[in-house]
Amino acid sequence: MKMVNKTYRFRIYPTAEQEILLAKHFGCTRYVYNHFLNERKKQYQANKKSDNYYKQAATLTKLKKEEDTKWLKEVNSQTLQFALRSLDTAFLNFFRGNAQFPKFKSKKRKNTFTIPQFGKLEDGKIIIPKFKDGIKVKLHREVKGKIGKMSITKTPTGKYFVSILCETGEDTLPKLKTDKETTVGIDLGIKSFIVSSDGMEYGNPKFLRKAESKLRYTQRKYSKYKGKRTKQKLAILHEKVTNRRKDFLHKVSSELIKNHDSLAIETLQVSNMLKNHKLAKSISDAGWDMFVTMLEYKANWYGKNILKIGTFEPSSKTCSCCGAINKDLQLKDREWTCGSCGTLLNRDVNAAINIKNFALKNKVSGTDTKNQNELPTLVGVLTSEAPGL
């Protein structure tokens, strides 16, 4: 069993003086990350090798003593070291094929830095190195467990938040038995966000689509005048869309985890699907990746099972009654009649039932979904069907 770690996110209210010191932390962290990323790029281009974390940490110590960069001493040293850790992790993920090549950080986007240790909560304040008086925090729920690292973030709208990672001291619950009766198949879609194998449907709120007219108007106004107030309004509109989407995804994922012991889902290659420009905006608006992540960590907390089928299994085109495959099915076809058994099928419900059946079959046979690459790619299917929309 693994230990349960939970992250709590609260809004903080720094004073004007603390905001200046926070800005220095953001800037120094960004500078260290970008400086050593640039060094690694040059080293790799020159001899196909680059310094690791330990060599760069030693270089950072020397850098803080130089006249031009002695201002790095004004911020917490462990925060700067954590920036190097993050850079090293980014490179490892890149070379392992799990992520793209690390990018330079920009101050125009979300600003953040991490305090790996010595952070604590006292009298409604967070106490971290360099902030002796503490920063006021709004604790809207109880923090349970041993406090680990803290991350301070400033959003584009000018709000400050702290994320607190805690070791709860609790073990994850043992996984429940996978049973056909307590398993539900989930088909993620665009028209309906979710259709389950038991007939439940969750509509797609399409938060970005609904806010598009306001966003376009504000964006045009900002492009023309470049005003600070307009920029702030644009950031607020985007923040509202993001917050509404997260709230919706949390509620749906929690309900599904609460009501079922096992959930069967399709492994979606979202980054590849976004290459279809006719569907990219709708796919991004749905937040499939974030939703699956929520399902996975909540399932680990409560001992539930997440069963995944291969990306390319024909769940939509297979008749859930007789197993016949309809090769002529297009994305616009929401219902279709099986040519083999004559059953009238709802496209999404049929797909959800097949996802459940495929997942249970794979569970029994021990099939690894990562090896199922023989079938045509989902991207190809979507691309070929898009003209029929």
Reduce the secondary structure of 76-93 to three states and give it as a string: CHHHHHHHHHHHHHHHHH
Please give the structure tokens belonging to residue 21.
């010191």
Start-end of H helices in 177-227 = 207-225
Please give the structure tokens belonging to residue 236.
């607020």
Walk across the sheet containing 262-266 and list its strands: 201-203, 192-196, 183-188, 262-266, 305-309
Q: Given 88, 261, 266, 285, which residue is catalytic? A: 266
The Cα–Cα gap between 44 and 39 comes to 9
Annotated catalytic, 171?
no
Judge whether 119 and 127 are in contact, CB under 8 Å: yes
Annotated catalytic, 348?
yes
Judge whether 158 and 8 are in contact, CB under 8 Å: no
Q: Are strands 183-188 and 160-171 parallel, antiparallel or unpaired?
A: unpaired
Half-sphere exposure of 319 (CA within 13 A, CB side): 17
Q: Given 261, 285, 313, 348, which residue is catalytic? A: 348
Annotated catalytic, 266?
yes
What is the DSSP track for 228-289? HHHHHHHHHHHHHHHHHHHHHHHHHHHHHHHH-SEEEEE---HHHHTT-TTTHHHHHHHTHH
Judge whether 114 and 82 are in contact, CB under 8 Å: yes
The Cα–Cα gap between 53 and 89 comes to 9
Q: Given 187, 261, 285, 313, which residue is catalytic? A: 187
Q: What's CA 218's distance to the chain center, in Å? A: 27
Tokens 């120094």 correspond to: 28
The Cα–Cα gap between 32 and 44 comes to 18
CA diameter of the chain: 81
Cβ neighbours around 362 below 10 Å, total: 19
What are the phi and psi torsion angles at 204 (to 5°)? -90, 115
Please give the structure tokens belonging to residue 312.
């390319």
Instruction: Point out the residues that are catalytic.
Output: 187, 266, 348
